[in-house]
């Protein structure tokens, strides 16, 4: 029985958080959660992987454009409200969540066609990892790009720590990843983080012009050229991303992650001084401190250092 690689239409894919629209040989995939600044939740990650695989099967598609709905955001990375609801409470599930994130990125890098990031709004955190996972990028002139992991309890090790040094150079990559400051579009182009910056009202024309240039090339040669130019990205990802998946899972129940996500919900900066105070006091970054206390009343061992009363018998510690 012959294998059917017939691609599905956008309607057949039954996507809830994406728009899948083809115009001639150009496919546009739109992150469609504008009310969440196009942050991706677990379902969107799964839908993106499916959409990228489907696009890779469609021989009538020459170029894939990735963009965000509305004009406020391209993508702001992971939906931290989902993290608070699901992953902070069940931190071991982060390993599963990251697996969906990793698969989505693999399918984007190995889509077999050139990809263009159409940066229509702010690009934050994992949203920038989507940007740099695309082959080329065109930004509206008022766009800013920012990594935020070190400020919010995570590490941008799903692509940014690996690829930014390749794209912008080591020192600039450290500035982006460590300081978490906004990079204006003009500076992003100067640094090589995007290919073009245009007035907002010319963004679609610029993307269409670049897509046409890519369409007017030989498809198999383009696909193999993409494979070859992806070498250093694939090598760095293979050596570091699986490790990052495990480390970030271990780090998810830490006080750093708890405070970073809680601060996001409360619309404030994390209390960095409190985190450092805990570390200097020998409490590490565990939420309630190291589990080293023994209750003198009932003998229960392994109680957290910050507990004032035993969780078993209620006696003061």
Domain with CATH 3.90.226.10 in the chain: 10-251
Please name the residue that has the structure tokens 């740099």: 132
pLDDT tens digits along 139-196: 999 999 999 999 988 999 999 999 999 999 999 999 999 999 999 999 999 999 999 9
* Residues contacting 271, CB < 8 A, separation 6+: 259, 263
- Judge whether residue 81 has pLDDT over 90: no
List C-alpha distances in Å: 60 to 6, 23, 54, 55, 219.
11, 11, 12, 9, 10
Distance, CA of 313 to CA of 195 (rounded, Å): 63
Predicted confidence (pLDDT) at residue 88 exceeds the cutoff of 80? no
User: What is the pLDDT at residue 36?
Assistant: 96
Q: In terms of pTM, does the model score above 0.85?
A: yes
Dump pLDDT digits (tens) for 103-144: 999 999 999 999 999 999 999 999 999 999 999 999 999 999
**Pair 310, 294: CB distance under 8 Å:** no
pLDDT at 244 over 80: yes
- Give the domain 10-251 fold: 2-enoyl-CoA Hydratase; Chain A, domain 1 (3.90.226)
User: CA–CA separation, 144 vs 215, rounded Å?
Assistant: 29
Whether the CB-CB separation of 317 and 293 falls below 8 Å is answered with: yes
Q: In a 10 Å sphere around its CB, with 0-12 CB exposed, 13-18 middle and 19+ buried, how is residue 44 labelled?
A: buried
Nearest CA-CA partner of 118 in 235, 47, 19, 24: 19
Q: Which two tokens stand for residue 103?
A: 């698969």
pLDDT score for 304: 86
- Give yes or no for residue 70 having a pLDDT over 80: yes
C-alpha–C-alpha distance, residues 165 and 155, integer Å: 15
82-88 long-range Cβ contacts below 8 angstroms, 24+ apart: 82/41, 82/42, 83/261, 84/261, 84/262, 84/264, 84/265, 86/42, 87/252, 88/252, 88/253, 88/257, 88/258, 88/261
Nearest alpha carbon to residue 102 among 139, 142, 133, 71: 133
Average pLDDT over all residues of the chain: 94
CB 245 within 8 A of CB 98: yes
CA–CA distance, 83 with 94 (Å, rounded to integer): 9
Report residue 96 as tokens: 């599963």
Distances in whole angstroms, Cα of residue 16 to Cα of each of 42, 49, 76, 83: 12, 13, 18, 20
């Amino acid at each position: 029985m012959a294998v059917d690689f017939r691609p599905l239409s956008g309607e057949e894919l039954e996507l809830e958080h994406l728009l899948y629209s083809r115009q001639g040989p150009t496919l546009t995939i739109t992150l469609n959660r504008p009310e969440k600044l196009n942050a991706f939740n677990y379902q969107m990650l799964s839908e993106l992987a499916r959409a990228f695989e489907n696009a890779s099967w469609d021989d009538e598609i020459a170029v894939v454009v990735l963009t965000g709905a509305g004009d406020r955001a391209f993508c702001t990375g992971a939906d931290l409200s989902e993290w608070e609801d699901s992953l902070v409470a069940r931190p071991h599930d982060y390993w599963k969540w990251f697996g969906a994130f990793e698969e989505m990125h693999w399918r984007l890098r190995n889509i077999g066609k050139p990809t263009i990031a159409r940066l229509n709004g702010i690009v934050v955190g994992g949203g920038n990892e989507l940007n740099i996972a695309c082959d080329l990028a065109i930004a509206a002139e008022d766009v800013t790009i920012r990594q935020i992991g070190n400020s919010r309890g995570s590490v941008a090790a799903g692509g940014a720590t690996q690829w930014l040094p390749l794209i912008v150079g080591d020192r600039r990559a450290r500035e982006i990843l460590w300081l978490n400051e906004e990079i204006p579009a003009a500076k992003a182009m100067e640094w090589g983080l995007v290919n073009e910056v245009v007035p907002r009202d010319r963004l679609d024309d610029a993307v269409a012009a670049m897509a046409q240039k890519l369409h007017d090339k030989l498809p198999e040669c383009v696909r193999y050229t993409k494979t070859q130019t992806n070498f250093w990205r694939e090598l760095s990802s293979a050596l570091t991303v699986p490790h990052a998946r495990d480390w970030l899972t271990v780090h998810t129940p830490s006080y750093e992650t708890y405070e970073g996500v809680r601060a996001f919900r409360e619309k404030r900066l994390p209390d960095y001084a409190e985190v450092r105070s805990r570390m200097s006091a020998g409490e590490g970054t565990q939420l309630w401190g190291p589990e080293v206390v023994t209750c003198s009343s009932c003998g229960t061992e392994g109680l957290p250092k910050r507990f004032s009363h035993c969780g078993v018998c209620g006696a003061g510690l």
